[in-house]
Amino acid sequence: MREYVMGNGAIALGALAAGVNLVAGYPGTPSSEIIETVSRYPHDGIHLEWSVNEKAALEVAAAAAYSGARAMVTMKQMGLNVASDPLMSVAYIGVRGGLVIVSADDPGPISSQTEQDTRRFADFARIPVFDPSSPEEAYAMIQDAFECSERYGTPVLFRPTTRVCHAYASIEVPDTFAPRSYDGFVRDPGKWVIFPRLSRANHGKMEARNTEIAEDFSAYRFNSVEGSGSGKAVVASGVSYAYVKECLKGREDIRLIRVATAFPFPEKFMLRALEGVREVLCLEELSPYVEEQILKTAGRHHLELRVRGKLDGTVPHNGENSVELSSGILEGFLGIRREQAPAEAADQPALPVRPPVLCAGCPHRASFYAVKQAMKGRKAFFCGDIGCYTLGNAMPLDMVDTCLCMGAGITMAQGLNHTNPDAVCFAFVGDSTFFASGMTGVVNAVYNGADIILCVLDNSTTAMTGHQPHPGTGRNMMGSAVEKVDIGRVLEGIGVRTVRTVDPLELEKAVQAVRECAEEKGVRAILFKSPCVALTRPAKKCAVDGAKCIACRKCIREIGCPALIMDGEKVRIDANLCTGCGLCGRICPAGAIGGEGHE
């Protein structure tokens, strides 16, 4: 059958076609739809889970692969940092069944904290990496990745980027999928228990294995040479290959070398591809990984070769690549001219900026506002975290002083507390992030005597990445109703002295809870519980009574809900956006905002 799917869907279907037995991961743009796609197709006999974090996911999958099963782990590139502890070690131990770790990179970055390059991680961990340039290739390549993993008994990385993950294509897939049979775990402590002696021996084997894999990769079908030219050549990898193809449409006379497996570097392939070439341009995103390998190859083989790319300033180090960027660089390198895109007109009117904002009616807005109101006039610091609530940084809320990585808000609030004892230090964390990497931070706070207020913004979902379930939701990816892990009870169990639960939309009560907390010492927690507005049906909507509105704009100035609009001299509520949360009505000094039909 033919399926029109996004790159992430292609990866999921490729894994199903490869007979995958277990899939685990943690949501993160641009990788989240892989597991969601698996769940939408028949997957009887496959264990599917959103793990609490990427480290857990990789460990679950590694043990499945020890048992001879085929296992896939999915995450975004920063998730690989979380999973790097098991990754580095499982590279030494190896696997029996295929273990493929999908780590989606995000050049730009479009929705990430860093522009890190998973190919470097492959080199660092000394395991192979596959780098597709389109959804069609991703479907084929993920199956090759499983084969490679099993043939060499090594975990394998699979690195798509945002533009591949979110591109759609039509793919021919089997009508039915069947997980592979496997024989189960066989005890063998000499193989599965990591000790220094075993690591020393395996380190040697890994390097020997990588030499063999590099040979294999030199004959790999997706490492290709096109075009007849000599003298100059273009090397591209990942989606940059698609951009170069777009630029060189109809030009058969330019040699285009494409590297789909950056590590172990297919040196023999590259030597053949570079025959007769004296100058090469490398177009790749994130880090100059392939460029460096070509430089090494040129050095080792005494090639007279000029290498252009990020390292000599021909290609920018940061940001994502594009047809336009590639086209400009290729023009300079090859002396060719493409039809020029129309230049941006000088008289173009100034455009409104549209930073992402909390949705209209989002309960996080109310939570932030309650804390802001309660702390008015007091010195307070607000440590944010990763999730929708990072958007609490936007004006006019302006309630995020730090944001670093998953779970860091809780621990950073402690660092601020120890060095700024005169300030009230708050940590904001979402429910999913709390489970992912927040809990250990709370233990740290209790143990080390920190004086912080933990605000758990519990909207009963993982909202930013598309509403995945988590341990607090009572649902998992096997379709089972499961016991909800209760955040309040977890906190009490850890030893948090006071745990208050409030509905942030009951503004006065929420403000009061924060005020009370601020007067206490030690680790205190407030659970702001209100479901994500994207998952609930709106209550009756709010409206502004034009006769009562005094146009003070307090609602707009203080909470900045997208549904509040200035309509001439008065405020109007966009009924298409309003969810009826009523927060604006609670702060209106003129009592001009009320429920539906309010005139």
Partner 1 sequence: MNKDILICGVGGQGTVLASRIIAAAAMEEGNTVHSAETIGMAQRGGSVTSHVRVGEAAFSPLIPFGGADLLLAFEPAEAVRNLKYLKKGGKAVINTAATRPVTESLKSTGYDGREMTAWLQGKCDCVFVNAEEECAPFGSAKFLNIILLGVAEGTGSLGLRREALLEQIGKQVPARFLEINTRAFRRGLEIGEASVRTE
Residues forming contacts to partner 1 in the complex (CB under 8 A) are 4, 6, 29-30, 110-111, 134, 163-164, 166-170, 239, 242-243, 245-246, 249, 322-324, 327, 339-342, 344-345, 347-349, 351-359, 388, 391, 394-396, 464-465, 556-557, 560-562, 564-566, 576-577
- Give the whole-angstrom CA distance, residue 372 versus residue 52: 31
Pick 44 or 339: Cβ nearer partner 1: 339
CB of 571 to partner 1, least distance (A): 9
DSSP 224-284: EEES---EEEEEE-THHHHHHHHHTTT-TTSEEEE-S--SS--HHHHHHHTTTEEEEEEE-
Structural contact between residues 92 and 203, judged by C-beta atoms closer than 8 angstroms: yes
- Among residues 37 and 465, whose Cβ is nearest to partner 1? 465
Residues 6+ apart with CB under 8 A from 497: 520, 522, 523, 524
In whole angstroms, how close is the CB of 467 to partner 1 at the nearest point?
Answer: 12
Closer CB to partner 1, 320 or 451, in the complex: 320
Nearer to partner 1, 396 or 495 (CB): 396
> Taking Cα atoms as reference points, which of 79, 36, 39 lies closest to residue 57?
79
Alpha-carbon gap, residue 361 to 533, rounded angstroms = 7
| Residue 27: CB minimum distance to partner 1, A | 11
Nearer to partner 1, 344 or 519 (CB): 344
CB nearer to partner 1: give 47 or 255: 255
Q: Residue 68 or 363: which CB sits closer to partner 1? A: 363
The DSSP output letter for 546 is T
> What is the distance between the alpha carbons of residues 585 and 549, in angstroms, rounded to a whole number?
11
Q: Is 597 left (phi over 0), alpha (psi -120 to 50) or beta?
A: left
Q: Kindly state the smallest distance separating residue 533's Cβ from partner 1, in Å.
A: 12
Give me the least distance between CB of 358 and partner 1, in Å please. 7
Our CB check for partner 1 shows the closer of 47 and 163 to be 163
Residue type, 349: P
Other CB atoms within a 10 A radius of the CB of residue 561 amount to: 26
Minimum CB separation from partner 1 for residue 345, in Å?
A: 7
Q: Please, what is the minimum distance in Å from the beta carbon of residue 32 to partner 1?
A: 9
Shortest Å, Cβ 397 to partner 1: 10
**CB of residue 246 to partner 1, shortest distance in Å:** 4
Alpha carbons 407 and 82: distance in angstroms, whole number:
11
Query: Which residue number, 352 or 479, has a Cβ lying nearer to partner 1?
Result: 352
In this complex, which beta carbon is closest to partner 1, that of residue 33 or of residue 267?
Answer: 33
Q: Which phi and psi (to 5°) does residue 210 adopt?
A: -65, -30
> Which residues 6+ apart lie within 8 Å of 230 measured at CB?
255, 275, 276, 277
Q: What Rg, from alpha-carbon coordinates, does the chain have?
A: 27
What is the closest distance, in whole angstroms, from the C-beta atom of residue 324 to partner 1 in the complex?
A: 5
DSSP secondary structure string for all residues of 552-598:
--HHHHHH--TTEEEETTEEEE-TTT-----HHHHH-TT--EESTT-
Which residues does residue 525 pair with via DSSP β-bridges, in sequence order?
454, 499
Q: Which two tokens stand for residue 29?
A: 């743009």
CA angle 73–79–83, rounded 5-degree value: 70
| Closer residue to partner 1 (CB): 165 or 439 | 165
In whole angstroms, how close is the CB of 564 to partner 1 at the nearest point? 6
Q: How far is the CB of 368 from partner 1 (least distance, A)?
A: 14
Q: Which is nearer to partner 1, 206 or 260 (CB)?
A: 260
Of 569, 579, 577, 576, nearest to 592 by C-alpha is: 569
Minimum CB distance to partner 1, residue 256 (Å): 11
| Closest separation in Å from C-beta 342 to partner 1 | 5
Distance CA 318, CA 330 (A): 18
Specify the residue, 239 or 424, whose C-beta has the smaller distance to partner 1: 239
Phi/psi of residue 48, each to 5°? -125, 130
Helices (H), 274-314: 289-300
| Cβ distance to partner 1 smaller for residue 99 or 532 | 532
| Residue 466 φ then ψ, to 5° | 115, 25
CB nearer to partner 1: give 62 or 358: 358
Rounded Cα distance between 266 and 373, Å, is 60
Distant-in-sequence, close-in-space partners of 480: CB < 8 Å, separation ≥ 6: none
Residue 528 makes CB contacts below 8 A (sequence gap 6+) with 363, 364, 366, 367, 370, 455, 456, 457, 458, 502, 503, 504, 510
The least distance separating partner 1 from the CB of residue 484, rounded to whole angstroms, comes to: 27
